[in-house]
Amino acid sequence: KQPSIPTDELIERVTSSIEEGAIPVEIYNDLGIFQREMDNIFGSCWVFVAHESEIPNKGDFVQRRIGIDPVIVTRGGGGDINVLSNYCRHRGTQVCQTDAGNSRFFKCPYHGWTYSNNGDLVGTPHVQDAYGERMDPEKFGLFKAPRVESRHGFIFASLAADGPSLDEYLGGAGWMFDLVVGLHPKGLRVAGPPERYQVKADWKTAAENFAGDTYHIDSLHWSVEEIGLAQGFQANTAISVTYEMDNGHAFNGHTWTKVIHPGYVLWGYPPEITEKFDLSEMDETQMFVLNHEPPATGTIFPNLSFIRIAAAIPPGTPPTILTSFRQWQPVAPGVLEIWNWQFVWDFQTPEEVEAAQQLGQFTFGSAGIFETDDTVAWEGAPRAAKSPWMKREQFAFNFDQSKRSPIDRENDPNWTGPGIKRNTGFGEMNQLHFYRQWANVMRDGIDGQLNPARKEGQ
Ligand code: FES
Ligand code: FE
């Protein structure tokens, strides 16, 4: 089916309407847009594929996805990390049919071509009878992601041979990432495989929500406040802070926990955990953020988000901290698969891991109290995008908070970290920053990836 509005025209429309604080509804369920996203965004940006703790030993592998393409992330015999296309070079069958395991080889189930775990073609059944001298195995290894880099164990891959390095791409978000996941030499590790579930939503809605939507908390998640699981929602948006980093990345310091724990530092981690942290590498501003306004959610463009919050279950007990990384996997126009990992510090005890897992499931698991609120709300966008009536109305989503600029919505003039900090959760600036990045990469691919955070009025 042909897209109803030419894709280039729709992208231009987004570019101009962003400045009016509006996003045309069509981009949330359009085949042409989806195909361009796969090509320009997932085909060029640094995309998270796995955490090193998921493949600690030689031969370990996990099956993952870059956009709609299945990839195998392997730990080779030399400890090297490979990101391999999971399409057999013979007829495209998936050579790896399981989510995770340990193997030196992947044997395609169809005709038996066999690849080593670094992607080399090492076996072709009946090779002499079938191909004679014509088979050159060097030409038929699995395709490999040309660039793979890790940061604090988080493995990112880019399908573009050239372009900004991971460091350049992350920019100030790398600085923030350091203080979220780099507080201990051994770092974080996964508490288990990612939970996966599909919802009829668009991946951008989820990414944008985690980049900047503090505004929804005291409405959509009010039941969480009502049952006493977390408190302070009503004040949250006003007292939150937002961090807009270069290249479309953004973070939110949701601060509701301050309301219940006035002395709250480091997300509310208890002393038996904070005393194990090594903060010697943190600069002065990172220490300020850690002690006063640590980011509770954030999005690394395009589709990796995290949440770290404290909550008490049952209410009245000491709070536990959860760290969930989630990846918004596009499946088809208007269809999203959520991948949800719980992370714990490498040094945490089995009891602490269990508590974090339980809290993670209770809040942001597939049946979690926050997650079910969010995903139902997010299903409106692709439905509206398919509505002939809404198209006639030229329905555009309202990001108008960004256009009103009371003084407290401006950039914090005293901010000494990278990017821009704003001392309120109102403003929807982070969301528009995400969409500006989206439009630039949709239009220009790799050449559109480096975009500075923008000061008010620029
Ligand atoms: Fe894999 Fe034929 S498709 S061996
Ligand atoms: Fe939410």
Cα(19) to centroid(ligand 2), Å: 25
Which pLDDT value is given to residue 405? Answer: 56
**Nearest atom, ligand 1, residue 92 CA:** 3
Residue owning the nearest CA to atom 3 of ligand 1:
91
Cα(137) to centroid(ligand 1), Å: 14
Residue owning the nearest CA to atom 4 of ligand 1:
111
Sheet hosting strand 47-51, strand order edge to edge: 47-51, 154-158, 147-151
For residue 305, which ligand has an atom nearest its CA?
2
**Nearest atom, ligand 1, residue 108 CA:** 1
Residues 29-43: tens digit of each pLDDT: 999 999 999 999 999
Instruction: Report the 3 state secondary structure along 132-173.
Output: HHHCCHHHHCCCECCEEEEECCEEEEECCCCCCCHHHHHCHH
Cα(95) to centroid(ligand 1), Å: 8
Of the candidates 65, 61, 58, 13, the one whose C-alpha atom is nearest the C-alpha of residue 43 is 65
Which pLDDT value is given to residue 260? Answer: 58
Mutate to test the pocket of ligand 1, among 111, 114, 121 (most ligand atoms within 8 A of CB): 111
For residue 252, which ligand has an atom nearest its CA?
2
Residues 64-104: tens digit of each pLDDT: 999 999 999 999 999 999 999 999 999 999 999 999 999 99
* Tokens describing residue 260: 């219940």
Give the phi and the psi of residue 53 in degrees, each rounded to 5. -70, -10
Which pLDDT value is given to residue 458? Answer: 47
Which pLDDT value is given to residue 257? Answer: 63
> Which residues in the chain show pLDDT less than 50?
457-458
For residue 230, which ligand has an atom nearest its CA?
2
Which pLDDT value is given to residue 454? Answer: 77
**Nearest atom, ligand 1, residue 95 CA:** 1
Does the complex come out with an ipTM higher than 0.90? yes
- pTM tops 0.90, yes or no: yes
Query: In whole angstroms, what is the distance from residue 414 CA to residue 429 CA?
Result: 19
Of the candidates 207, 189, 210, 96, the one whose C-alpha atom is nearest the C-alpha of residue 142 is 96
Which pLDDT value is given to residue 256? Answer: 63
